[in-house]
Structure 1
Amino acid sequence: MSRFLFVVPPLVGHVNPAVGVAAELARRGHTVAWAGVPGLITHLAGPDSEIHPCATPPRTPERPPDLRGPGALKFLWQDFLIPLAEAMAPGVALACRQFRPDVVVADQQALAGALVAERLGLPWATSATTSAELTGALDDLPLVAAWVRDLLTGLRGRIGAPPTATDPRFSPYLVLAFTTPDLTGPVTAGSGPVHFVGPSIAPRPTTPAFPWQWLDRDRATVLVTLGTANADTGAAFLTVCRQALRARAAGLQAVIVDPAGVLADQPPDPDLLSLPAVPQLDLLPHTAAVVCHAGHNTVCEALWHGVPLVVAPIRDDQPVIAHQVAEAGAGVRIRFGRTDPTRLGQAVDTVLGDPAHRAAARWIGDSFRAAGGAAAAAVRLEALATGRHLPDTGTPAVAPPGPARFTVPTAERKEPR
C-alpha cells in the first residue's frame, strides 16, 4: 500500500474534489494525509483526517469587491497565490519529512506542494480543480502570461529546486483534470500528461439542514448560488435574482443561497427560500436550473445531474468556465455587473424552455460519469506511486465533432437583450 499527501489551498472549491479522491484511496487501503489549513480540511474531509498544518500569509490585502479583469488576475497571483505558496512551503516540507509520502498530490493553486515535492525528489501529481489553466486562458495575453512565468520563476528560486523547465501548475508525471473535453473543448499543448477523470462527486461529512417539505413538486426549482467566496460581491445580483424569479412564481420556485444575509430584510415569501447554506449535492436532483457565478465546482455538480445553467462570471477562472458552458450549449451566459431582472429572467426562461440546453447538460453529465471520477483518479495515483504505466483511457484531449458538443443558436448563447 502507498502513502499520499494532499496539499490544498484554503479554498472550499479546491478541497472538495480532493476529499472524494482521498476517501477512495483510503477505501482501497492506502494511507492519506493532508497539508493545509486544519480547520477547513477537518470540516470538509472529516475529524479523523491526518492533517499537517500549513501557515497562511500573516496579512492578505482585502480584495475590492468590484475588482475585475487584469486587476483581479494581478491580485490573485501577486497578492494571494505567491504569498500563500511562500507561507505554506515550510509546513509542506515538514509534512513530507514526517509523513514520508510516496506521492504528493498538489492542487494547482497550492504551488508549494509541487515545488517542495520537486525539491525533495518526490513524484507529484497536479490536482486541476478548475479547467481554466488547461485551455490556454492566457494565450491571447502574452505579456500577462510572461508576467506569471516570471512570478513562478522567482517563487521557485525562493522555495523550490534549482531552475528547471517544469511549470509547477502542471506535473510532468500526472495532471488530474476533474472535468471532460465535452465541457472544456480543446486543451492546449504543454499542459503535462492530462487525464480527464471527471468531477469527484462524493458524500460530504457535513451538510446543512434543508426544509425538504418546502419544495413544490408541481413547479420547477431554480437554485441561485454564488459559491463560498463571493459574499462580498453578491448583494445587487441576488436582489436582481429575487426580483426576476419572484415575477415567475406561477411556474417556478427559487432557492437562493445568501451566506451574507443580504436578503434578510426582505419580507417572507412562500415562493422564494433564502438560506445561508444548502446541501447542494442533495438539492441538485430536485433542481431544474442553476443560476451561478460559473465556479467550477458548482458548474460541474449541476451538469453531473443534467441541470442547465445561467452563468454570470465574476472574476478569476469564472469567465473561462462560463464560456465553456455556453459553447457546449449547456447554459446561457450573462454579465454579472450589468444584469437587470428582465435580462436574468429571460436567461432563466431560455434554459428552462429550450430542451437543447438540458440535453447538452445531460450529455456532459454522462461524459462525467463515464470518466470515472474519484475512482479513476485513484487508479492513476496508484499507478504513479508504484511506477506502473497505464494505457490512456481513450478520453480525447479534444472534444469530438458531432453531437458531443451541442450547437445552440448564437442568439441563445449570448446575453439576452
Structure 2
Amino acid sequence: MTRTFLFLCHPDHGHVVPTLAIAAELVRRGHDVTYLTAPVMREIVAGTGAGVATYRSRYRDADFAELENDPGYLMSVLLDESEAMLDAAVSELDPVDCVVYDTSVLYAGRILARRWDCASAQTVPFFASNEHFSYLNAMYNDEGGERPAEATPAELPEWVGTTMARIGALSAQHGVDVAPDELWFEIPARSIVTVPREFQYAGESFDDRFVFTGPCIGERGFLGDWSPPGGSAPVVLVSLGAVFNAHKDIFATCVEAFRGRDWHAVVTVGDGIDPAELGELPPNVEVHRWVPHVTVLREAALCVTHGGMGTVMEALSTGTPLVCVPTSALDRPTGWRVRDLGLGALLNPGDVEPEVLADTVDGVLADPAVTAAARRMATAVADAGGASRAADVIEAAPDGTR
C-alpha cells in the first residue's frame, strides 16, 4: 500500500546525506515521499526521486565558534530552524501518514506529528542518547578533553529553562498541548541510528525503540567522480567535513605532512576554503572541493578526518582505519570512540604539525591490530542493514503512533 512520508532536516550535509538513501529506498518501493529542507540542499535531495519542499533557513549563518562552546546557542539555532520548518509545513504541505525527522530538529518533527496525528520516526546520524549516555553531555561536559564525563551537572544550566520556554511557546502556537520536557526528552517509538550498535557508547543499554542500521550509503552522483591515481602508493583521504570547515591551517599541515612521502593524499575542502589557498601542491597530493568519499575509501589505506560521524562511518564501512583531529566539541566524542575501540588514532588539533601527523599516519598503517579492528567494524556495518532496514522500520510504522 502506498503511503505518504515527509522528511524534515536542516541544511547540514552530515544530517541530510545519511537520510538520502532511506528516502530513495522508500521512493523505490512506490511511496510518496516529500523532503523539507533548505534551498541549498534542493539539488542533492532531488536525486532521491522525492519531492522537495523548502523553508527559509538561517542555519548556515550561525556562529560556529559559539555553537561549539554554548549548548544554549545550539538549541536556539535548532529551534529557529524547527519554527521555520513548521511554518512551511503547515502552510504549504498536506498532512502525511508519517513524519521522518532528524533528531536535531525534533521540536518540528514531534510537534508536527502531534498536530497532524500521524506516525513519526526519528533519524539519529550520530550517537543516540538514553538514561545511560547523553551525546549532548559528552559534547559539552568532558573529563579534561579526553572522554565524556560520567556524571551530568548537578544543577540544570540556565539555557535549559530558556529552551523549555521556547518549546512550550512553539507547541502552543501549533495547538499542541504537551509539556515541554515531555516533548524534548521523550524516547520515541522509532529511532533510526545510522551507526552500528558496536560503535555506540553503552550500545547494549539501548532497547528495541532504537534501531542501529549503520550508515545508509546510496548513490551520491552529486559529489562528482574520482579515479584512483595508479601506482602502488597507499591512498589517504583527508576531510574536515562539509559545513563550518574553514580550517586552512590544518589543510595546509596535511599537505606538508604528505609532501615527498610514499602516500597519495586526496584532500576535500568543501566550501570551507578555496583550494588555491593551499598553493602549489606536491605531485602526490590532489585537492578537491567535493569527491565521493566512499569511492575514494574503497581504495584508501587510511582516512584523516575531523571526526564527523558521516565520514567516520563511510571509512568504517570500507574497513579503513582513521586518524581523527576533532576541530570542535561536537566531534570529540567520535574521536574518543575511534581511539578507545582501537580503530585508529586521535590527535589534538593544537598538536598537529606535519611531522606529528606523518608519524601518526605511519603508526596507524603499521599496526595490524588497528587493521583487524577496522575490518571487524566493517562487518558490523554490513550486518546492521543500512537503508533497506531503515526503510523497513519507517514503512512499518502504524498510523498515528509516535
TM-score range, shorter chain: 0.7 to 0.9
Q: How far has the Cα of 1:107 moved from its partner?
A: 0.3
Could you tell me whether the CA contact under 8 Å between 1:4 and 1:102 is conserved in 2? yes
Listed as ranges, the gaps of 5+ residues in structure 2 are 138-149
Among residues 223, 226, 239, which one is paired with 2:240 in the alignment? 226
Q: How far has the Cα of 1:236 moved from its partner?
A: 0.9
Q: How far has the Cα of 1:59 moved from its partner?
A: 9.3
Among residues 111, 114, 121, which one is paired with 1:115 in the alignment? 111
2:373 matches 1:377: no
- For residues 17-416 of structure 1, what are the structure 2 equivalents within 5 Å? 17-46=18-47, 48-57=49-58, 60-64=61-65, 71-78=69-76, 80-94=77-91, 98-111=93-106, 112-131=108-127, 133=129, 135-137=133-135, 138=137, 140-142=151-153, 147=158, 149-160=160-171, 161-164=176-179, 165-168=181-184, 171-187=187-203, 193-210=209-226, 212=227, 215-232=229-246, 234-247=247-260, 249=261, 251-259=262-270, 260-261=273-274, 264-385=277-398
Partner AA of 2:198 in structure 1:
D
Classify the secondary structure of the residue corresponding to 2:345: strand
Q: How far has the Cα of 1:83 moved from its partner?
A: 1.9
After superposition, the CA RMSD in angstroms is 2.7
Q: How far has the Cα of 1:316 moved from its partner?
A: 4.3
Q: How far has the Cα of 1:117 moved from its partner?
A: 1.8
Q: How far has the Cα of 1:360 moved from its partner?
A: 1.1
Pick closer, same or farther for the CA change 1:375–1:273 going to 2, 3 Å: same
Q: Distance in 2 between matches of 1:345 and 1:310?
A: 11
Partner of 1:3: 4
Q: How far has the Cα of 1:108 moved from its partner?
A: 0.7
Identity %: 26
Pick closer, same or farther for the CA change 1:347–1:23 going to 2, 3 Å: same
Could you tell me whether the CA contact under 8 Å between 2:27 and 2:50 is conserved in 1? no
Q: Distance in 2 between matches of 1:49 and 1:379?
A: 17
Classify the secondary structure of the residue corresponding to 1:223: strand
Q: How far has the Cα of 1:190 moved from its partner?
A: 8.2
Classify the secondary structure of the residue corresponding to 2:30: coil
Could you tell me whether the CA contact under 8 Å between 2:10 and 2:59 is conserved in 1? no
**More off after superposition, 35-44 vs 294-303:** 35-44
Partner AA of 1:301 in structure 2:
E
Q: How far has the Cα of 1:337 moved from its partner?
A: 2.7
Pick closer, same or farther for the CA change 1:35–1:330 going to 2, 3 Å: same
Deviations 1:105-164 (A, max 9, x none): 010112312222233322211100111646323163426865564344223212223233
Pick closer, same or farther for the CA change 1:191–1:344 going to 2, 3 Å: farther
Q: How far has the Cα of 1:45 moved from its partner?
A: 3.7
Pick closer, same or farther for the CA change 1:240–1:59 going to 2, 3 Å: closer
Classify the secondary structure of the residue corresponding to 1:126: strand
**More off after superposition, 147-156 vs 125-134:** 147-156
Could you tell me whether the CA contact under 8 Å between 2:248 and 2:278 is conserved in 1? no
Listed as ranges, the gaps of 5+ residues in structure 1 are 389-417
Could you tell me whether the CA contact under 8 Å between 2:238 and 2:305 is conserved in 1? yes
Partner of 2:17: 16
Q: How far has the Cα of 1:296 moved from its partner?
A: 0.6
